[in-house]
Every structure is written in structure tokens, then in C-alpha cells.
């Protein structure tokens, strides 16, 4: 896609938040070019919070954004869908503090966008192109990004469970691949951890209709899994949702090893805090060969 987009008409969905469990009405509304994605708390005098890495507040179990004390919780699934489906500009109106979890996956949001349609503006899209590799790592987990002329993703996970174990996914993130292979994957949890999470005030809205629950040897959900590697696909969904906070379409290959929201946020911070890691290019420029920028000279000669 060479030009910026928005949706064609407003669409709405209602539900509960996964962690706070509060009811919420959400509406996605067309926005002009150069707006980006902006959350609006309609219950708080239409207070606006841009979907930006600069507003990240909390990264434990879900990603939350905050500006001047106003919170939007669990942004990653909806942002993942908007980013992957190529929507550059939209207002997301909510009348509570958490995005509805719907069925725990991105599929209902993909359906909403299909209902809304896409409009293309005349303003050329500006991509964030990665110029040199960067890695964040800790405790055997890591996430890296390397130059590539499209947005690609490799996600590797390990969970000690007979239905999970080691899983891996490698894909180019196109709207088609995303809608079919990643969006339907649901959020998941392990029965053994539920009490602890509830004690932390989390997953108050979780049910078997909006999350996969792994019992010691199986899953508690009547329909079973949607994919044998549904966990890995969902981790890819989450990763894209956190990368979306870059605020521009990405040209680079991301490789994640057992990474979570905290590490995704650290990578985004590392990229955005160092302008020698990326440049901002139109689609045409992106097709030419990227050249690394010279490193900033931090030590003066003499």
C-alpha cells in the first residue's frame, strides 16, 4: 500500500475487558490522513490518548497506555489488527478503561474492518525502515529486528505443556496472511496460574468464551484449539500489537524468542530512541537499497 488509509464508515462492538472485567462499548471511526490511531475516552470528556510507544504505561500480562493519569488497558489485540490490515488512521472511542476482549482473538476486529471498508488518501504512506540489527535480551528470552524490505516476523515460544511445547511461526505480515493465520488465535492461560492471576487483580473478565484455558493435560474449552500452534500464533498477534505503537508501518524482520509485552516494549523503545537505527521512507524509496547511516560520533576527537 503506497498511500495512507482509514476505514470508510464507523463500526461498533460491545463486550467486557479481559482484566478489569468492566463492560465497554467500542466504536472505530474514520480519521483524516496524518492522524494515526487515537483512543478517545468518551466517558471522560473525549480525552484522547494516541496509540504511541510514548504513552506505554504497563506491560505486565497486557499493554496499557496512559496520558495524564487516564488509562486505556489491553490495547494490543485491536492495534495488532489495525496495523496488520493496513489501517493508518482511526479514532477508537471507548466508554470505559479497557478494550473489549470479544472472543480473545483478533478475528472479530478483522470482521469489523471488513464491514467498515477501507478508504485511501492521497498522502503517501511513510514507513519506518530498519537500517541495522538491534536486539533486546534477558534471561534466555530475546527479540531482535533486522533490515528487510517488508514486514516479516518469526516467533518462537516454549511452554511446558503436552499440547504446547516448542512452537515456531515465520511469516510476512500481509493483510491476507494475518487475517487467515494469526487473527483467529485466542489469548490463553494455564489453569495452574489462574488463582495467582486473580489475586493480582487480573483476568476478571476471562471466560472459556474469550480465552483458551489449558488444564494439566488438555484444554477446558469445549471446541478445543483453533490451530495446533494457536499459542504461537497468538504470541505473534500480541507482538504485532506492541510493534504497532511505533505509529508507522514497519519494514524489518522481527525475531522473537519467548518474548512478552515487556520485551516487545523494550525493543520499540530502543528503536525509537536512536535515529541511527531507522529512516522514514515512502514506498518508492523503500524499494531502493537501504544504506546504514553513519554512527553518531559521541566522542569528540582531541
For Zn ion, the binding residues (CB under 5 A) are 187, 238
CA angle 249/54/196 to nearest 5° reads 100
Cβ distance 65 to 35 under 8 Å?
no
Asked if 55 contacts 247 with a C-beta cutoff of 8 angstroms, the reply is no
> How many residues belong to the chain?
302
- Residue with Cβ nearer Zn ion (77 or 253): 77
Least separation in angstroms between residue 77's CB and Zn ion is 6
CB within 8 A of 290, min separation 6: which ones?
Answer: 129, 131, 147, 149, 279
d(CA 225, CA 234): 12
Q: For residues 71 and 57, is the Cβ–Cβ distance under 8 A?
A: yes
Q: Measured from the CB atom, is 247 or 260 closer to Zn ion?
A: 260
At residue 288, what are phi and psi to the nearest 5 degrees? -80, 170
DSSP letter assigned to residue 212: E
Bridge pairing between strands 127-130 and 250-257: parallel
Helices 261-272 and 230-243 pack at an angle, to 10 degrees, of 30
All three cell numbers of 198 = 486473580
Active-site hit among 20, 77, 234, 261: 261
Cβ-based nearer residue to Zn ion, 187 or 210: 187
Minimum CB separation of residue 241 from Zn ion in Å reads 7
Provide the minimum distance between the beta carbon of 295 and Zn ion in the complex, in angstroms, as a whole number. 36
Distances (CA, A) of 213 to 30, 147, 190, 216: 36, 37, 6, 10
Least gap, CB of 275 to Zn ion (angstroms): 30
The distance of closest approach from Cβ of residue 124 to Zn ion in the complex, given in angstroms and rounded to an integer, is 32
- CB-wise, 89 or 105, nearer to Zn ion? 105
Q: In whole angstroms, how close is the CB of 101 to Zn ion at the nearest point?
A: 9
Residue 150 or 262: the one with the smaller Cβ distance to Zn ion is: 262
* Residue 261 among the catalytic residues: yes
DSSP 3-61: EEEEESS-EEEEEEBTTT--EEEEEEEE--TT--EEEEETTTTTEEEES-GGGEEE-SS
For Zn ion, give the closer residue by CB, 4 or 257.
257
Catalytically active residues, by annotation:
261
Amino acid at each position: 500500500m503506497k498511500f495512507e488509509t482509514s476505514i470508510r464508515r464507523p463500526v461498533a462492538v460491545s463486550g467486557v475487558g479481559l482484566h478489569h472485567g468492566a463492560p465497554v462499548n467500542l466504536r472505530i471511526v474514520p480519521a483524516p490522513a496524518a492522524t494515526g490511531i487515537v483512543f478517545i475516552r468518551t466517558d471522560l470528556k473525549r480525552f484522547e490518548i494516541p496509540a504511541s510507544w510514548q504513552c506505554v504505561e504497563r506491560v505486565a500480562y497486557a499493554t496499557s497506555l496512559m496520558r495524564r493519569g487516564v488509562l486505556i488497558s489491553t490495547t494490543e489485540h485491536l492495534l495488532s489488527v489495525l496495523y496488520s490490515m493496513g489501517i493508518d488512521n482511526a479514532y477508537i472511542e471507548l466508554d470505559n478503561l479497557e478494550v473489549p476482549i470479544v472472543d480473545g482473538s483478533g478475528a472479530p476486529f478483522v470482521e469489523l474492518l471488513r464491514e467498515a471498508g477501507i478508504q485511501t488518501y492521497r498522502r503517501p504512506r511513510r514507513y519506518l525502515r530498519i537500517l541495522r540489527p538491534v536486539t533486546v535480551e534477558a534471561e534466555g528470552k530475546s527479540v531482535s529486528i533486522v533490515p528487510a524490505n517488508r514486514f516479516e516476523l518469526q516467533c518462537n515460544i516454549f511452554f511446558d505443556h503436552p499440547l504446547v511445547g516448542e512452537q515456531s511461526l515465520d511469516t510476512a505480515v500481509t493483510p491476507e496472511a494475518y487475517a487467515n493465520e494469526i487473527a483467529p488465535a485466542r489469548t490463553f492461560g494455564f489453569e495452574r496460574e489462574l488463582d495467582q492471576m486473580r489475586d493480582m487483580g487480573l483476568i476478571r473478565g476471562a471466560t472459556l468464551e474469550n480465552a483458551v484455558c489449558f488444564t494439566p493435560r488438555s484444554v477446558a474449552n469445549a471446541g478445543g484449539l483453533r490451530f495446533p500452534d494457536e499459542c504461537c500464533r497468538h504470541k505473534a498477534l500480541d507482538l504485532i500489537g506492541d510493534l504497532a505503537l511505533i505509529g508507522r508501518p514497519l519494514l524489518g524482520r522481527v525475531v522473537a524468542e519467548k518474548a512478552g509485552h515487556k520485551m516487545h516494549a523494550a525493543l520499540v523503545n530502543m528503536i525509537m530512541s536512536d535515529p541511527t537505527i531507522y529512516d522514514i521512507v515512502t514506498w518508492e524509496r523503500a524499494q531502493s537499497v537501504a544504506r546504514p547511516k553513519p554512527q553518531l560520533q559521541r566522542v569528540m576527537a582531541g
